[in-house]
Chain A
Amino acid sequence: MCGLTLLEIRVRLRRKFLSITILAMGIGLPLASPSAIEIGKDQLASVLAAMRDPMAILEGRSPGGRGGGAIQTKVAYAPVAVKGPSERVLSAGRPQPVGAPAAIPDAQLGKLIDDLIGPTVPGPGNPTLVTDPVPPGLGGGSSSSGGGFVPPPVIFGGSSGGSSGGEIPTPPISVPEPGSWMMLIAGVGFIGASLRRRRQRAFAA
């Protein structure tokens, strides 16, 4: 920008109104005016040359024609076609099922729960579907007395639960691993870099 300012100053100082009164650039009739004499004899030759061919002035400031291999500044924005309702859980999408979902037989329900929450230890009261919200250990030794269903431990890094009987479990330690920290920092940095690059390309033609 500093160079630009210097350029402007130089042009301002050196600007000479040719006063050639070109009615048609290139074919116009050059009429010498008194101010043309003020520019000096040393520049008279260039002025006269410009009067003969004023287009040379315009072409003389050109950075040159555009060569091959020019790059496109941006790509056309193509909106995504809407194809109707679809679930976005899967990457490819799949159609929404029509109607009520089919009922799952009771014989398969137990296996499904086992698959979902892992193997359980059924108590004597209700063999399968007892959901005790009390976490293991808070029930006062319920597991040792066989007082009901003991859910599997869901706290990562916690104790194994019911076998200890009456002991208050320690709160889970949620300190991320160093790898997780690195991934988090790298992700934030990537987002910042993309926003910065996008802002720099904001004035694409």
Chain B
Amino acid sequence: MPRADGGREPVTSLLDLPGRLNFGDFVWNDAGVPAGPVWVRVDLVAQTLSVFRAGQEIATTVILYGAENKPTPTGWLSVQEKALDYYSRSYDAPMPFMLRLTDDGVALHASVVQPGRVTHGCIGLPYPFARRLYDAMKPGDRVLVVGETLTRS
């Protein structure tokens, strides 16, 4: 996995799912995975998110991402702020388990993940998944957002 500093993020294992995930589904299985640095890979084209710990994938889910006129930024980002029960004044909407990624408010947060929905740039997660991800991540942890413009290797 290419890193911003030119290095690569080691990945030693992936979850083996029996099939495709549906909207609202998620898998969180960190049994036997040792403690270690946590980072997240978001694939906008595939509409999936994977959580890695100590180089092993421990969780995955289906996400929502930004509309064409409000695209989700791509590249390496990092968690700048955590808020358990955030309320957006800009959109008059609650955003539970908010992990802010950019200065202008793009964040990972719980959302109603249903087919056909888009966001204003945030990354929407199923509610129970967002709760677990909120507990697993801390400020400074990195998030790689992969879109069509970024190489998907």
Interface residues of A (CB under 8 A from B): 3-4, 7-8, 10-12, 14-28, 50, 54-55, 57-66, 69-77, 200-205
B153 at the interface (CB under 8 A from A): yes
Which residues on B sit within 8 Å (CB–CB) of A26?
153
Q: Are B15 and A201 in contact (CB under 8 A)?
A: no
Which B10-24 residues have C-beta < 8 A from chain A?
Answer: 10-23
From B46, B122, B127, give the contact of A65 (CB < 8 A): B46
- Enumerate chain B residues within 8 angstroms of A59, measured Cβ to Cβ: 46
CA distance A94 to B117 in the complex (A): 42
A22's partner among B11, B17, B122 (CB-CB below 8 A) is B11
**Closest partner residue, chain B, to A201 (CB atom):** B112
Chain A hits for B2, CB < 8 A:
24
Q: Is the CB of B118 within 8 A of A66?
A: yes
Instruction: Please tell me which one of the listed residues A4, A11, A57, A71 contacts residue B116 in the complex, with CB atoms under 8 A apart.
Output: A71
Residue of B nearest to A73 (CB): B117
Q: Known pairs A11-B17, A76-B120; list 20 more (Cβ under 8 Å).
A: A7-B27, A11-B29, A19-B13, A22-B12, A24-B153, A25-B11, A54-B11, A62-B47, A65-B47, A71-B116, A71-B118, A72-B118, A72-B120, A73-B119, A74-B91, A75-B91, A77-B89, A205-B64, A205-B117, A205-B122
Q: Binding site of B, secondary structure by majority: helix, strand, loop or mixed?
A: loop
Task: Name the distance in Å between A56's Cβ and chain B's nearest Cβ.
Answer: 10
- By the criterion CB–CB under 8 Å, are B93 and A11 in contact? no
Binding site for A on B (CB under 8 A): 1-2, 8, 10-23, 25-29, 31-32, 43, 45-48, 50, 56, 60, 62, 64-65, 67, 89-96, 109-112, 115-120, 122-124, 127, 152-153
Q: List 16 A-B contacts (CB under 8 A).
A: A3-B25, A11-B15, A14-B16, A15-B16, A23-B10, A24-B8, A28-B11, A54-B11, A63-B21, A66-B65, A66-B118, A71-B117, A71-B118, A77-B92, A203-B111, A203-B127
Residue numbers in B under 8 Å from A20 (CB-CB): 12-13
- A11–B20 touching, CB < 8 Å: no
**Chain A residues, CB < 8 A from B1:** 24-25
- Measured between C-beta atoms, what is the minimum distance from A72 to chain B in Å? 6
Cβ A57 vs Cβ B16 within 8 A: yes
Chain A residues with Cβ below 8 Å from B13 are 17-20
CB of A134 to closest CB in B, whole Å? 55
Cβ A27 vs Cβ B153 within 8 A: yes
A76 touches B91 (CB 8 A): yes
Kindly identify which residue among B15, B20, B152 contacts A15, using a CB–CB cutoff of 8 Å. Answer: B15
* Complex contact B116–A69 (CB within 8 A): yes
Distance to closest chain B CB from A174 (angstroms):
40
* Contact A8:B27 (CB < 8 A) given known A58-B50, A77-B89, A205-B111: yes
Q: Is the CB of B111 within 8 A of A73?
A: yes
* In the bound complex, CA of A202 to CA of B109 (Å): 12
User: Assuming A11-B18, A63-B47, is B112 touching A204 (CB within 8 A)?
Assistant: yes
Q: Flag if B92 contacts A10 (CB, 8 Å).
A: no
Inter-chain contacts of A205 with B (CB < 8 A): 64, 109, 111-112, 117-120, 122-124
B89 to chain A, nearest CB (A): 7
The 7 closest A-B pairs by CB, nearest first: A205-B119, A62-B46, A205-B124, A205-B111, A77-B92, A26-B153, A24-B8
